[in-house]
Structure 1
């Protein structure tokens, strides 16, 4: 079966399950309106004693069962809707997280639905501030996390955050 046939079958499956009404499908900049609120996916944390303990605010592995949707959030850079970039790492980190939250909200989801977050920092010296802000944004929720030191596409961006959410 080729990729096109799989895509058609997937769309047919969604229609059959009637997860969203056709009028609920969001376009760019338009929030999806959910007919039914659904609880988060059932998430099982895996932190085996045979692997080093997490440094804080995450788990080694998350297993999803009974999920209905996956949301893949593209890398969010620290730009406001008007294109302005805040000064300093702390303000940029908070803005990038606000952008992640906005995408989650547009899909009718919240931080409790995040299952994987990857943060790209431009400097190792940002690690502690990044961890502090991430914990404030996530509260008690602990998704799987990866932090990478990398160069961003635009040098004015000091970080980028991508994420996966499940319902």
Structure 2
């Protein structure tokens, strides 16, 4: 994958790319939005803790397809309040910390999810040969 960050536009606000080029012949996986619910049904408090669960769930989905976080080319996330942005961003930045080619990223503030204890939802697109 190749990150696309044209010099004629403002740089990204954080650790993401404005665009990503996927080489021909790659398989594509898209996850559903993952909420911060652990396998035992528990939902931790706080955006960072929930986002880490979301990314852990995503890793399990990608592993089933023979992929990993290194194959993620797009991250879309949703938080229920601006106050949750920092916690989410900390978890997201940890998730992409060892990446050279960064994925694209979108973060939106939404009014809520199916249950009030959920404050973060994350979905990804990944590609691998």
Alignment TM-score, normalising by the size of structure 1:
0.71
| Structure whose alpha-carbon radius of gyration is higher | 1
SS of alignment partner, residue 22 of structure 2: strand
Offset at residue 165 of structure 1 (A)? 0.3
Choose which of 88, 91, 106 in structure 2 pairs with 1:133.
91
In the alignment, structure 1 residue 160 sits paired with structure 2 residue 86: no
Conservation of the 8 A alpha-carbon contact between 1:46 and 1:59: yes
| Bigger proportion of residues as helix | 1
User: Which residue matches 1:103?
Assistant: 61
Among 73, 80, 94, the residue aligned to 1:122: 80
Contact 1:67 1:166 in 2 (8 A): no
Answer yes or no: is the 8 Å Cα contact 1:122–1:159 preserved in 2: yes
Superposed CA deviations along residues 23-80 of structure 1, whole A, max 9, x for unmatched, are: xxxxxxxxxxxxxxxxxxxx12211122111012100000111232100110000111
Shift of 1:115: 0.6
Shift in Å, 1:86: 1.2
In the alignment, structure 1 residue 65 sits paired with structure 2 residue 65? no
From 32, 42, 45, the counterpart of 1:74: 32
Question: How far, CA to CA, are the matches of 2:90 and 2:48 in structure 1?
Answer: 10
- 2:5 corresponds to 1:47: yes
How many residues are aligned here? 125
5+ residue gaps in structure 1? 1-42
| C-alpha distance after superposition, 1:92-140 (max 9, x if no partner) | 1211111111111121111110011100011111222211111112223
- Structure of greater relative contact order (alpha carbons < 8 Å, 6+ residues apart): 2
CA RMSD of aligned residues (A): 1.2
What is the distance in 2 between the residues matched to 1:46 and 1:118? 17
User: 71, 82, 88: which is aligned to 1:113?
Assistant: 71
CA contact 1:117–1:164 (8 Å) conserved in 2: yes
Structure 2 residue ranges without an equivalent (≥5): none
